[in-house]
Amino acid sequence: MYFLSDQHRSALDMTKRISSSFGRPNKVVGLLSGICLIVGTMIGSGIFISPKAVLEGTGAVGPCLCVWAACGVLATMGALCYAELGTMIMKSGGEYPYLMEGFGPLLGYLYSWTTIIMLKPSSFAIIALSCAEYASTSFYPECTPPQVVTKCLAAACILIITIINCLSVKLAYRVQNFFTVAKLLIIVIIVVSGIVLLAQGNTQNLKDSFAGATTSFGAIGLAFYNGLWAYDGWNQLNFITEELKSPYRNLPLAIIIGIPLVTVCYIFVNIAYFSVMTPTELLQSPAVAVTFGDRVLYPLSWIVPLFVVFSTFGAANGSCFTAGRLTYVAGREGHMVRIMSYISVKRYTPSPALMFNGILSIIYIMPADINTLINYFSFAQWVFYGLTCLALIVMRFTRKELQRPVKVPIVIPVLVVIVSCYLVLAPIIEKPEWEYLYCTMFIVGGLLLYVPFIYYKFNWTRRIMSK
């Protein structure tokens, strides 16, 4: 028998901590936190500010509500496909490891290139700007807040969230849990108010709800785009699979609970809006939830902007939490510089990856308006969603040896792939614009880095990519 001194015991403990944390984060996210991550990331500013975009694409109340419901069904089907993939390939990083396993490193790299450099940080920036706009509105009641104030507040929001995520995984998901409860509270207030108004007979806007509906192929596709933007985040739990407790149980369970909950909330919130506003008034409102609050909750209407700030802050926190994991996994696989795969020994967080995402997000708040750019990159996101579900179909035949604790009927990924093709092609066919080409060029442009840095691995590129 050997006895260890305190110094040796301390060194052994440190070695165990390093071995457990280097390359693999700790499993600290439970079922409740998983549900809160899905719900908290999906419910951002969209449902409170701009449901009118879906109404513009459909032309009537009935089709508008149908699109919101269909978006929820599509998100649920996509998430069920991801549940099979997540329990079959136990790696963090969202679509990245699934595309790697299904189609090889090239497609996985192009996904990580597009998402890490553009989609994740710019989405983080837009959510932070929405948070800053509502936070600054109360200080400028007579006019629109200056852009410099909004952008400084957005940068501060990004900085605070990045620091929280670098300090502690537990602190990050506790912040997520708190703000998820806050945003569900305001949704309950809006829904209950709408039910009371409907019970009082305010149903005139729901009568003949399909009159004047749009039948344009491309317009309905754009309506789905805007609805699915509000649902975006249904795949967030797959970015942190390695940090999820009991993933075989908690991953599908969190999806089955979280996404239908958001779908029900969105449908009832839209019904509540139509109990107060006509379709024309809703289209003219710059912020639908604020208009609803001014008409129904006065003199407590100030709680709506406050809870929109809570909602957007929580969504930004969820976006940052998952974006860091994708960057970390890409660094671990050699598709980013090696330092991105480092994990803090003391805090068990992928700090370099989180800081990189935060820096890019601050850069993206500097331009005057990046919302248009993100709208065009939404089609790129659905390209990767479709390819990921296609990878699931392909691996049913090419990787039969993999265990599948969760196995969805093959018709579900087939439907998601078909809908993804529609969502990608419909807006381009209806209204072809140069921005779609620019987006495609950006994605393919990743090959300029892939060939020398990843494929051939020249000596000079190894020195750049290595630690």
pLDDT at site 160? 95
Per-residue model confidence as pLDDT tens digits over 98-113 = 999 999 899 999 999 9
Check residue 372 and give its pLDDT.
Answer: 60
pLDDT at position 358 is 93
Sign of CA dihedral 24, 117, 252, 33: positive
Q: How many CB atoms lie within 10 A of CB 61?
A: 25
Q: Phi and psi (nearest 5°) for 226?
A: -70, -40
Average the pLDDT over 194-213 and give the result: 85
Residue 50, pLDDT score: 66
Supply the range of the domain harboring residue 222. Answer: 2-466
pLDDT band at 31 (very low <50, low <70, confident <90, very high): confident
Of the ranges 19-23, 181-185, 278-282, 450-454, which one carries the lowest mean pLDDT score? 19-23
Q: Looking at residue 370, what is its pLDDT?
A: 56
* Mean pLDDT comparison of 17-31, 83-97, 259-273, highest-scoring range: 259-273
pLDDT at 6 over 60: no
In the chain, the amino acid numbered 461 is T
> What integer pLDDT is reported at residue 238 of this predicted model?
85
- Which H/E stretch holds residue 151? helix 147-167
CB 254 within 8 A of CB 55: no
User: CA 455, CA 400: separation in Å to the nearest integer?
Assistant: 28
pLDDT band with cut points at 50, 70 and 90 for residue 395: very high
CA angle at residue 383 from 378 to 388, to 5 degrees? Answer: 125
Q: What angle do CA 392, 41, 312 make, to 5 degrees?
A: 155
| Predicted pLDDT at 26 | 65
Q: What's this model's pTM, rounded to 2 decimal places? A: 0.82
Phi first, then psi: give them for residue 73, nearest 5 degrees.
-65, -45
DSSP class per residue in 323-369: HHHHHHHHHHTTSS-GGGG---TTT-S-HHHHHHHHHHHHHHTSSS-
Q: Are 150 and 133 in contact (CB under 8 A)?
A: yes
**Which of 251, 268, 298, 332 is CA-nearest to residue 79?**
251
Percent of the chain with pLDDT over 70: 89
> What CATH number does residue 312 fall under?
1.20.1740.10
Q: Is the pLDDT of residue 2 over 70?
A: no
**% of the chain with per-residue pLDDT over 90:** 24
Q: Read out DSSP for 264-318?
A: HHHHHHHHHHHHHS-HHHHHH-SSHHHHHHHHHTTTSTTHHHHHHHHHHHHHHHH
Q: Is the pLDDT at 237 greater than 70, yes or no?
A: yes
Distances in Å between the Cα of 82 and the Cα atoms of 193, 265, 333, 392 are 36, 22, 21, 9
Tens-digit pLDDT profile for residues 119-161: 888 888 888 888 888 888 777 767 778 888 889 999 999 999 9
* 418 band by pLDDT with thresholds 50, 70 and 90: very high
339-376 tens-digit pLDDT:
888 888 888 888 899 999 999 999 988 875 655 656 66
Give me the pLDDT at residue 158, please: 95
Q: What mean pLDDT comes out for the span 12-41? A: 64
Domain count of the chain?
A: 1
- Pairwise pLDDT comparison (172 vs 435), residue with the higher score: 172
Q: Which of 9-13, 320-324, 341-345 has the lowest mean pLDDT?
A: 9-13
Q: Is 315 exposed, middle or buried (0-12, 13-18, 19+ CB in 10 A)?
A: buried
Mean pLDDT for the chain overall: 83
Question: Do 399 and 100 touch, CB atoms closer than 8 A?
Answer: no
Residue type, 274: F
DSSP bridge pairs for 29: 244
pLDDT of 118 > 50? The answer is yes
Predicted confidence at residue 369, as pLDDT, reads: 60
